[in-house]
A and B are shown apart, each in its own frame.
Chain A
Amino acid sequence: MQSGPQIGAISDEIQAAEDAAAESRGRSESSSRKQTRVETRLRESVERYSTLVTATSNMVWVANAQGDIIEEIQYWENATGQSPEEYKSWNWLRALHPEDAVWVEEKWRKTVEARASIEMEYRLRMHSGEYRRISIRGVPMPTIAGEFRGWVGTIADVEDQRRAEEALRQSENLKRRAFDVANLYAWDLDLETGVVVFSENFSNLIGLDDKMVGSDLDWVLNLIHPEDREMIAQKIKDALISGKLEADYRFNDPETGQTIGWFHAVGETVYEESGNPTRLVGVAQDITLRRGAEDTLRATSEQLRALSARLNSAREEEGTRISRELHDELGSALTSLKWDLESLGKLIPAHGPELSRLARQKKIEGMNESIDAIINTVRRISSELRPSILDNLGLAAAIEWQAKQFESRTKIPCRFSSSVELIDLSKEQITAIFRIFKECLTNILRHAQATEVSVRIDGGERELLFEIEDNGIGISDAQRNGSQSLGLIGMRERALLIGGTIEIVGIENKGTKVTLSAPWIPPARPKMTIREVQKS
């Protein structure tokens, strides 16, 4: 569709041709050939104009000097359903949105008075009842013989365009707001020139004056904390190959050197058709608060872990103390009582009424049995609190003994083997491994439905491996990771406290394997004497 300036140019052409014709007629030129040439030019211009109007006739309007629409507008009829009689003159205003009709009329009136050009947009009611935005442009037609003839202009339906523009605007606003809310900024690095473009909120986000924001990679790298620069430079290089970038880094205030904050960037490489990387684009988010929270969480976790270790330690110490006192003090006292009873039994006279002698003998035997039972109970309680074998004979002996106890009690064969004789670990490590082992046995008994268990200790260069495996139903992922499995959580916690790791693997209907690894230094082999060397 021809625009207003182009219609104006054609109108000027017509005007010029008409003027030329008038001039020619006025001078009474005798040359008919000159007149014919002028008339031809005029005809051609009119034809061009007519063709243009025909081509765009449904979008062109014509108004007279009073501002009346005087020609039919096919577009208007199709769009609004108004007949020419309904829209000519000033009646076309009736098809406008009520909110627009008043100011449009006022503007058109002023335009008519001023005989000026006009450009405006208003809402037009379609025959469907829907309103669509229309753009009107009009220019005054050339004056002929001093007479102002009116306007010619175009109508364009811009509803779709305005909707698209509005959607884009809203999208941009939403994006801007989202960036602000999420403390995000966007960046775009031209890999060839090194120029970096940031989103408009960048300077505000990092608290720098707009004037201080640079536009090249060197400036960005200088803004980054010195400890993070090399890493970022490497990440950019890696992104050219991998196509992706992700990194955490700090920005420093260029004037004070203080850290502005932590940022997390993600980006991807843009390649041209040849496959060469051309740009790196992405977003970065201010994660200063998150890092602070993570640091606090880490510190809190460490404190909790330390507290847990202290509680465990205190519990073990208390258990050890009670166990020892039960075992030794109470046990020894009971032993002494037992012997006193035996002595009493020996004092029962051999002579005397048979019945009373037998009764006393029986009574003493009964008391002896009671004492034996108490001694066994004391042993059991003491052992459950903390088996003394752990402290007196070491971890391997304690595990082997515990395995045999398990087998004896449950009738589930429990095989033990160890590749190391001397396990030199700290008391905390020994306790943790033993407690984990006991927890494993408890779980096997309660859940595994196993018929065999094997326990193994292996000593490597830097770590001790402890494995317990059963042939049961196998622990499921849900059971292993469930928040209710406090026993497993406790095991992991114990392993962590001694600087170790624990892995639990279950295979359905095949069994479960628990592997604990703890850091250790293998004990040095004792040096051989010269005699031993000679003997060997």
Chain B
Amino acid sequence: MNAMRILLVDDHVVVRNGVRKIFEGNHDAIVFGEAANGQDAIRLVRAEKWDVVVLDITLGHRNGLEVLEEMKQIRPELPVLIFSMHSEEPYIRRAFASGAIGYVTKDSSSDELALGIKLAVAGERYLSKGLIDHTNLD
């Protein structure tokens, strides 16, 4: 079975390491790629094949939602899961409008993130439970 290839795009190394740790001890083989900014992320998306991208919105000076739109132009079929501190409804609407398949906030549990990633790979939409409650998005 091919290893799952996950591209982590976040400008904070502590977050990237945290996501890696979630999948430690996982029996399935996972290959991680990392990018700390939008430019590197686009380069990696062009150069390699990924099963899912976990993308932050605030990437230094670049807006992650713009990076999302660019990624979807390069790889329309690539599932992109937004992983962000922002929980406001405008962000969520914009993310889905720009082609995201799911949205998980950073205050979600690690299990939720893992679930979101798995569903994204399977092509299924996922929204953090807390977001459904207060944004009326489903």
Asked if A339 is at the interface of the complex by the 8 Å CB criterion, the answer is yes
B94 lies within 8 A of A397 (CB): yes
Main secondary structure of the interface of A (DSSP, over half): helix
What's the minimum C-beta distance from A383 to chain B, rounded to whole angstroms? 8
A379 lies within 8 A of B85 (CB): yes
A335 lies within 8 A of B94 (CB): no
Q: In the complex, what residue of chain B is closest to A400 when comparing beta carbons?
A: B90
- Kindly state the separation between the CA atoms of A331 and B11 in the bound complex, as whole angstroms: 12
Chain B: interface residue total (CB-CB under 8 A) = 26
A335 lies within 8 A of B90 (CB): no
- Kindly state the separation between the CA atoms of A333 and B107 in the bound complex, as whole angstroms: 11
**Which residues on the B side are within 8 Å of A342 (C-beta)?**
109-111
Asked if B91 is at the interface of the complex by the 8 Å CB criterion, the answer is yes
**Which residues on the B side are within 8 Å of A340 (C-beta)?**
18
Given the known interface contacts A336-B14, A339-B21, A392-B57, the answer about A327 and B90 at a Cβ–Cβ threshold of 8 Å is no
Interface string of A323-340 (1 = CB under 8 A from B): 010011101111110111
| Interface residue ranges of A121-168 to B (CB < 8 Å) | none
What's the minimum C-beta distance from B32 to chain A, rounded to whole angstroms? 16
Asked if B43 is at the interface of the complex by the 8 Å CB criterion, the answer is no
Interface string of B81-121 (1 = CB under 8 A from A): 00001111111001000000000001101110000000000
- Kindly state the separation between the CA atoms of A93 and B129 in the bound complex, as whole angstroms: 122
- Kindly state the separation between the CA atoms of A379 and B134 in the bound complex, as whole angstroms: 15
Candidates B15, B18, B94, B109; contact of A393 at CB < 8 Å: B94
B88 lies within 8 A of A401 (CB): yes
Asked if A438 is at the interface of the complex by the 8 Å CB criterion, the answer is no
B90 lies within 8 A of A401 (CB): yes
B58 lies within 8 A of A335 (CB): no
Asked if B65 is at the interface of the complex by the 8 Å CB criterion, the answer is yes
A392 lies within 8 A of B21 (CB): no
Given the known interface contacts A342-B109, A397-B94, the answer about A336 and B17 at a Cβ–Cβ threshold of 8 Å is yes
A335 lies within 8 A of B15 (CB): yes
B91 lies within 8 A of A392 (CB): yes
- Kindly state the separation between the CA atoms of A379 and B88 in the bound complex, as whole angstroms: 10
A332 lies within 8 A of B14 (CB): yes
What's the minimum C-beta distance from B99 to chain A, rounded to whole angstroms? 16
**Which residues on the B side are within 8 Å of A329 (C-beta)?**
12
Q: Which A residues are closer than 8 A to B by beta carbons?
A: 324, 327-329, 331-336, 338-340, 342-343, 372, 375-376, 379, 388-389, 392-393, 397-398, 400-401, 404
Given contacts A342-B109, A400-B90, 14 further A-B contacts (CB under 8 A): A327-B58, A328-B85, A332-B85, A333-B14, A335-B18, A335-B107, A336-B15, A336-B17, A338-B107, A338-B109, A339-B22, A339-B110, A375-B85, A393-B65
* Interchain Cβ contacts under 8 Å between A and B, 20 examples: A327-B58, A327-B85, A328-B58, A329-B12, A332-B12, A332-B106, A334-B107, A335-B15, A335-B18, A335-B107, A336-B18, A338-B107, A372-B107, A375-B85, A375-B107, A389-B88, A389-B90, A392-B58, A393-B65, A401-B88
